[in-house]
Structures are given as structure tokens and as C-alpha cells.
Amino acid sequence: MNGSLHEIKLYFAYTSPYSYLAMQPAYDLELSHSVGVRFIPYGVSIRKVYGPLDREDADRRKVRYLYLDARRIAKERGLVIYPPKKIFSARLAFYGGLYAAKNRRFRPYSNRVFDRFWKQELDVESRDAISAIVAEVGLHRAEFLRYADSGARADLDACFAEADRDKVFGVPTFIVDGEPFWGEDRIEWVIRKLDAMGFRR
């Protein structure tokens, strides 16, 4: 990141529809303000938050409603969100994102992962599928797989530890000058804070 830019953070998950909806607004912040966004993976256990989702109760209805809202917002933006048929682990996709970020290919990698996962065209738990996207954005598949089997876990654990220090509890969460903003719909508050800090271009 350019040292002259003020860093803000966005904690995200590829398996979070609201993270998907937060990505383009986050990219746009780098155009409207003198900031650099650092994208940090963070996992939330859906089962721990809502319990087993195979029962019919208020928690299950809440999850269904959240997907309904996400699909409404996505439709307005020309995006597609189909609710996944099961709860996926994003760990391997996170490894790909970390590797892509190290090699300045985070955005094209993440755009593909989000787009295909939410169209139900990508199994984010598949080494072949994730490594294929790594290769598609111009990076080395074999090198990525070595990273996934060696240093990736420690890097991801460091992200989770940073999230704990920032007191993050869900995604997407922006952190601006130590202040949290949870949810893609908080972007206007993020913009107001950045404006007040004098970072408008």
C-alpha cells in the first residue's frame, strides 16, 4: 500500500453475501478518498451464531430474510446472489485471497471468487477450483498450493488475531481510525467519517 495513503480495514468473508455487496463500495473509497483499503479475511461460524439451520424457527427465518434483502440489493447493482445449498468453509478461498494479495492480484481473484460462489458456480472448498482461479489471474498454481500447505494457516490465524484486537464480531466490518462500522449499509457513515478527517480527494 502506498505509504501516503491512510489505511482503513475491511474484514470480509467470501461466503458472506453482505461482504460481496461491500466490495465495490470499498474499492470506490480508494477513488473518492486518499485511502488504501486493506482487506482482511475473517470467518464467522453460522452454526455458532444461529445454531443448526435445518430446523424451522426464528433464527432460520432470520437467515432467510437476510438472504432476501441481500438479493434485493444485489439485483439493484446487477449482481447475482443465490443462497448456497450448504454451509461452506471459506478457509481455502481465504488462502487464495492472501496469496493473491501478496502478489498484487487480490481484486481480480476476489471478484471471481465472489461472483462464481454466489452464482453457485464455485466450490470454495475445492483445491482444484481455487487453484484454477489463482492461475486464471496470472499466478502460479503450484506455488499457491505450497503456500496453502505451509504458511497460509499462520497468516490466516494472524488475521483472526487482528480481528480479535479490533473487536470484530461479524462481516463486513470497516475499521476507520479504530472505529468499527458493521454492515455494507454503513458505507455512508464510513464516507462521512473520512470526509470529516479530510481525506476526500
Q: Which domains does the chain have, with CATH numbers?
A: 6-196 (3.40.30.10)
d(CA 58, CA 77): 29
Q: What is the pLDDT of residues 79-119, one digit of tens each?
A: 999 988 888 999 999 999 999 999 999 999 999 999 999 99
Q: Which residue stretches of the chain have pLDDT < 70? A: 1-3, 45-57
Confidence at residue 62, expressed as pLDDT on a 0 to 100 scale: 81
Confidence at residue 198, expressed as pLDDT on a 0 to 100 scale: 97
What single DSSP character describes residue 185?
G
92: which 3 cell numbers? 481455502
Confidence at residue 187, expressed as pLDDT on a 0 to 100 scale: 97
Confidence at residue 85, expressed as pLDDT on a 0 to 100 scale: 85
The model carries a pTM of: 0.92
d(CA 58, CA 31): 41
Confidence at residue 50, expressed as pLDDT on a 0 to 100 scale: 46
Work out whether strand 173-176 and strand 35-41 pair parallel, antiparallel, or are unpaired: unpaired
The answer to whether residues 16 and 22 touch, using CB atoms and an 8 Å cutoff, is no
The closest alpha carbon to 73, from 201, 194, 184, belongs to 184
